[in-house]
Structure 1
Amino acid sequence: MSFSLAIVGRPNVGKSTLFNRLVGRRLALVDDQPGVTRDLREGEAKLGDLRFTVIDTAGLEEATDESLQGRMRRLTERAVDMADICLFMIDARAGVLPADEVFAEILRKRARHVILAANKAEGQAGEAGLLEAYALGLGEPLRLSAEHGEGMPDLYSVLQPLAEGFEARAAAEAPEVDVDLTEEEQEFGEDEEIGGTSRDFTRDKPLQIAVVGRPNAGKSTLINKLLGEDRLLTGPEAGITRDAISVTMDWDGTPVRIFDTAGMRKKAKVQEKLEKLSVADGLRAVKFAEVVVVLLDVSIPFEQQDLRIADLAEREGRAVVVAVNKWDTEGDKSNKARELREEFARLLPQLRGAQLVTVSAVTGKNLDRLREAILEAHAVWNRRVSTSRLNSWLGAMTEAHPPPAPGGRRIKLRYMTQVKARPPQFVVMCSHPEELNESYKRYLVNGLREDFDMPGTPIRLFFRSQADRNPYRNKTKSTPSRLRKHLGKDRADAPKKKR
């Protein structure tokens, strides 16, 4: 039985550091300044033989209004209500502050189980704060050092009896099953394809989607609308999201994992270390994703930064869908839609044929079309073409438009095959590949898109010389040294010819 553990406390007490240690990876951004974490981040934690879900929360603020700090506090309180156990962390070196006392009172009223931990307690610097923690009335505090990994056995000893209690309760509440299914019946239907894709999407292997774009484009609002709840922090301020937060959900029957990323500004404007970490976290999300949704603002679409982000996704080899948000605010929708498609075709020729969908994250308009576009882009991204069809196609293309002949020497395209999908990658064996110009390569790539129905997906086309596969290329025939010595000896022993 897995349980959930929410790590709560004031800003900069080490919550994200402990989160990273429990999940075994640096998932959450960590920095010296307070208030780095803003959204709820979940991860699969492992501590000894315990397996549970750990939740990293924003630092508890005393604000209760509609400010950013107030919204962050409400999101953290929501995590407290949902979690089975709350780990309340204080800074042992700073001691118990008035804010800690306020939040301890909140946890006493709202949390089911509270564990008190004094972090940064390594050495003698945290002794005084550790003793002060007893005054909070939450039991004996654990002495931890999340950065150095001290106190993990003590945390395990506290969590283990609670975990056994959750497991016993779950077993008692489990419904009885009247019919036992055979293994064959349990596996029935696993090979059925969803939406024509190359694989099934399951809870263990969902469809990976990353939503990227400039700040304040509405990425978090869009994901909240799909979830049907305010899971991610939103607001009118630009740059609220800092971590690349992933959420798993069932989107109309399709298991998906969506990454909400930080808004990406121009590189010249990114000066602070924290924003650089946020952008780097978003770029990692793009690399893990299968489909990238580039979200634009309808009021200022296709800005220079939008083009860079879309080009980045294409260079990473990901399937791309362009979504134009805030469509509910647009007045002249028909003319605007035509203008958007013209600009898309002109400014992003490398994504020729990719899906462009107009959506509204606030009202939920056209989100079903966005889902269909994502599934179609994923299917194209996984497409494979047989070698026989490719070679027949290559012959027709070269006959219609022969390759160039630099220096009067015609380049011969002899053979073609697909070596990989996700994205589709092809290799053409030819003579003198280094002399083939870019325009002819684009001619073949565009032909692949049109003739094999691969719109919008990145296509990798490589040209190789058949001579590159010959291990004896550029090697002259030579007589082995031992044979040369033997021949020389025979020649010396042979009688000399008379003149």
Structure 2
Amino acid sequence: MSFTLAIVGRPNVGKSTLFNRLVGRRIALVDDQPGVTRDLREGAARIGDLRFTVVDTAGLENETDDSLPARMRRLTERAVDMADICLFIVDARTGLLPDDRVFAEILRKRAKHVILAANKAEGNAAEAGVFEAYELGLGEPLRLSAEHGEGMADLYSVLQPFAAEFEERAEADAPDTDVSLSEEEAEAADENAIQMPTAEKPLQIAVVGRPNAGKSTLINQIIGEERLLTGPEAGITRDAISLSHEWNGTHVRIFDTAGMRRRAKVQEKLEKLSVSDGVRAVKFAEVVVVLLDAAIPFETQDLKIADLAEREGRAVVVAVNKWDIEDEKQEKLKWLRDQFEHVLPQLRGAPLVTVSARTGKGLDKLQQAIVEAYVTWNRRVSTGQLNRWLDSMITRHPPPAPQGKRIKLRYMTQAKTRPPGFVVMCSHPDKLPESYSRYLVNGLREDFDMPGTPIRLYMRGQSDKNPFKGRRPKKPGALGKHLGKLQKKQD
């Protein structure tokens, strides 16, 4: 990406709509009510042949205390300081407000480059607001309609000179590196080895849990900066925000999700959008960290969230937050492990780590547990090992014979990874009880060291009958008859 563009402005002027337009997907939540966006969201933007990073920011509020709007403003100001270019959006329909003039003065002092744009400029009703924007002293305003895609060509023309300038700067600052493998190194690489995360393909981690469990605080502690908005209020996070980071040598992309409450309590449209955004993050993740509150762990909603991750086939790590304020740590930890085995048997053996998002204690163990869960999630077992193991399991505990029909398990192979999936060829797969499938799954977990990861076991039918028995031989065709006559003459 050649440069970073931050979209700033008052609440409800269309920043998130323009962000979605530039990245080409509806990934930022959009609603009619103001103040939907609270955290900074980055995306890869494209206009024609221009490629750049765009940042969606919270609406600027004229507050300076410790309230939530003031904290949102400080986060936006930080994005302004870090961005190469700021796109200042005003609403052409409502015209300039006093806050617009205040923020224009802030941008004039803090931003490196400022581009003024009047959004919602379609139609004659916006003419007065566009001309009024000249009063800000930031040059000629661009006429945009983020909703309808109007004005993108004008935005391209304004950004093009900046793109050339920043691209030359990036090439001059780029270090000389050679990351290609030699022939010997390429031959030595094991084809069956698990591909560990890289900067191009980082490990995708989703942090999920109930509201106010400390998800944003935990991610801020991991990346070492106040990148996400936090506070004592429950439900601050609304979008599923992704952040890239190198965590103790492991390249990761962490998704911060909105707190998930019980469905009966979710009434507002915006909260429904936030929860669905979090569910989507779980589906795209590779490892899901279920964050619990040490004071009230294993609530019904926690169990549903963990079960969702297991059903989606994601590797699961359970982290118990706010451990620094727990008094009876040893007794509580023993109780937590017993409860975990009891209420989440489908995740038996999954890592359970105690952390403190406020102090950062336990984060090294959490990172180790995540990497181990990822390795297990990608594990592959050879067919020979599986069939020897299957013979021993059948010898130890033969499958039942419902209605006097013995079920024969003949052959087993691993069909996929991420999560591990196995296929067993057998007779009468529809009559094999679920308890015997669980017996095999638990054996796979224990004997092949796959604790906690979801395991998929598929039973496929294989008949005992000879497929050629009773089949009449085909009558020879005209060519066959002719060849037969030639053969008889030679004899």
Query: Fold conserved (TM > 0.5)?
Result: yes
Which residue number in structure 2 is paired with residue 8 of structure 1?
A: 8
**From 355, 371, 379, the counterpart of 2:351:** 355
Which residue number in structure 2 is paired with residue 401 of structure 1?
A: 397
1:203 partner letter: A
> How far has the Cα of 1:157 moved from its partner?
0.6
Which residue number in structure 2 is paired with residue 445 of structure 1?
A: 441
Distance 1:254 1:125 in 2: 53
Which residue number in structure 2 is paired with residue 198 of structure 1?
A: 194
Distance 1:190 1:125 in 2: 67
- With over 3 angstroms needed to count, the CA separation of the structure-2 counterparts of 1:190 and 1:282, relative to structure 1, is farther
- With over 3 angstroms needed to count, the CA separation of the structure-2 counterparts of 1:125 and 1:444, relative to structure 1, is same
Distance 2:12 2:403 in 1: 68
Which residue number in structure 2 is paired with residue 82 of structure 1?
A: 82
2:372 partner letter: E
Residue pair 1:42, 1:56 contacting (<8 A) in 2 also: yes
Which residue number in structure 2 is paired with residue 385 of structure 1?
A: 381
- With over 3 angstroms needed to count, the CA separation of the structure-2 counterparts of 1:448 and 1:169, relative to structure 1, is closer
Residue pair 1:197, 1:379 contacting (<8 A) in 2 also: no
Output aligned runs, 1:69-468, within 5 Å. 69-172=69-172, 181=178, 183-184=180-181, 198-467=194-463
Sequence identity (%): 74
> How far has the Cα of 1:201 moved from its partner?
1.4
Stretch deviating more after TM superposition (160-169 or 291-300): 160-169
Distance 2:84 2:179 in 1: 34
CA-to-aligned-CA distance 1:318-376 (integer Å, 9 cap, x gap): 00000000000101111111010000011100000000000000110010000110011
Which residue number in structure 1 is paired with residue 480 of structure 2?
A: none
- With over 3 angstroms needed to count, the CA separation of the structure-2 counterparts of 1:48 and 1:386, relative to structure 1, is same
Distance 1:295 1:417 in 2: 35
- With over 3 angstroms needed to count, the CA separation of the structure-2 counterparts of 1:118 and 1:337, relative to structure 1, is same
Residue pair 1:190, 1:200 contacting (<8 A) in 2 also: no
How many residue pairs align between the two structures?
Answer: 474
- With over 3 angstroms needed to count, the CA separation of the structure-2 counterparts of 1:188 and 1:477, relative to structure 1, is closer
> How far has the Cα of 1:440 moved from its partner?
1.0
1:15 partner letter: K
CA-to-aligned-CA distance 1:90-114 (integer Å, 9 cap, x gap): 1100111111111111111111111
Residue pair 1:321, 1:374 contacting (<8 A) in 2 also: yes
Distance 1:396 1:79 in 2: 60
Distance 1:88 1:263 in 2: 31
RMSD: 2.5
Residue pair 1:197, 1:375 contacting (<8 A) in 2 also: no
1:96 partner letter: L
CA-to-aligned-CA distance 1:116-154 (integer Å, 9 cap, x gap): 000000111111100110011110000000011100010
Residue pair 1:40, 1:57 contacting (<8 A) in 2 also: yes
2:200 partner letter: D
- With over 3 angstroms needed to count, the CA separation of the structure-2 counterparts of 1:187 and 1:266, relative to structure 1, is farther
Stretch deviating more after TM superposition (43-52 or 212-221): 43-52
Gaps of 5+ in 2: 478-491
SS in 2 for 1:165: helix
CA-to-aligned-CA distance 1:143-172 (integer Å, 9 cap, x gap): 000011100010011011122222334455
1:454 partner letter: M
> How far has the Cα of 1:2 moved from its partner?
1.1
Residue pair 1:20, 1:28 contacting (<8 A) in 2 also: yes
Residue pair 1:212, 1:219 contacting (<8 A) in 2 also: yes
Which residue number in structure 2 is paired with residue 45 of structure 1?
A: 45
Residue pair 2:101, 2:136 contacting (<8 A) in 1 also: yes
- With over 3 angstroms needed to count, the CA separation of the structure-2 counterparts of 1:229 and 1:181, relative to structure 1, is closer
SS in 1 for 2:124: coil
- With over 3 angstroms needed to count, the CA separation of the structure-2 counterparts of 1:306 and 1:187, relative to structure 1, is farther
- With over 3 angstroms needed to count, the CA separation of the structure-2 counterparts of 1:230 and 1:187, relative to structure 1, is farther
Residue pair 1:192, 1:200 contacting (<8 A) in 2 also: no
Distance 1:186 1:117 in 2: 53
> How far has the Cα of 1:471 moved from its partner?
9.7
> How far has the Cα of 1:388 moved from its partner?
1.2
Distance 2:465 2:80 in 1: 62
Distance 2:400 2:309 in 1: 32
2:310 partner letter: E
Residue pair 1:92, 1:127 contacting (<8 A) in 2 also: yes
- With over 3 angstroms needed to count, the CA separation of the structure-2 counterparts of 1:182 and 1:292, relative to structure 1, is closer
Which residue number in structure 2 is paired with residue 490 of structure 1?
A: none
> How far has the Cα of 1:192 moved from its partner?
7.0
Which residue number in structure 2 is paired with residue 494 of structure 1?
A: none
- With over 3 angstroms needed to count, the CA separation of the structure-2 counterparts of 1:468 and 1:15, relative to structure 1, is farther
Distance 1:25 1:246 in 2: 15
Distance 2:459 2:342 in 1: 27
Distance 2:243 2:12 in 1: 24
1:245 partner letter: I
Residue pair 1:324, 1:357 contacting (<8 A) in 2 also: yes
SS in 1 for 2:164: helix
SS in 2 for 1:263: coil
Residue pair 1:4, 1:83 contacting (<8 A) in 2 also: yes
Distance 2:104 2:407 in 1: 77
- With over 3 angstroms needed to count, the CA separation of the structure-2 counterparts of 1:333 and 1:436, relative to structure 1, is same
Distance 2:461 2:473 in 1: 29
Residue pair 2:2, 2:170 contacting (<8 A) in 1 also: no
Which residue number in structure 2 is paired with residue 65 of structure 1?
A: 65
CA-to-aligned-CA distance 1:421-479 (integer Å, 9 cap, x gap): 11010111111111111111111111111111110000001111114999999xx9799
- With over 3 angstroms needed to count, the CA separation of the structure-2 counterparts of 1:469 and 1:30, relative to structure 1, is farther
Residue pair 1:2, 1:51 contacting (<8 A) in 2 also: yes
Distance 1:199 1:303 in 2: 36
Stretch deviating more after TM superposition (160-169 or 432-441): 160-169
> How far has the Cα of 1:185 moved from its partner?
5.7
Which residue number in structure 1 is paired with residue 18 of structure 2?
A: 18
- With over 3 angstroms needed to count, the CA separation of the structure-2 counterparts of 1:181 and 1:400, relative to structure 1, is closer
Residue pair 1:244, 1:282 contacting (<8 A) in 2 also: yes
Residue pair 2:205, 2:289 contacting (<8 A) in 1 also: yes
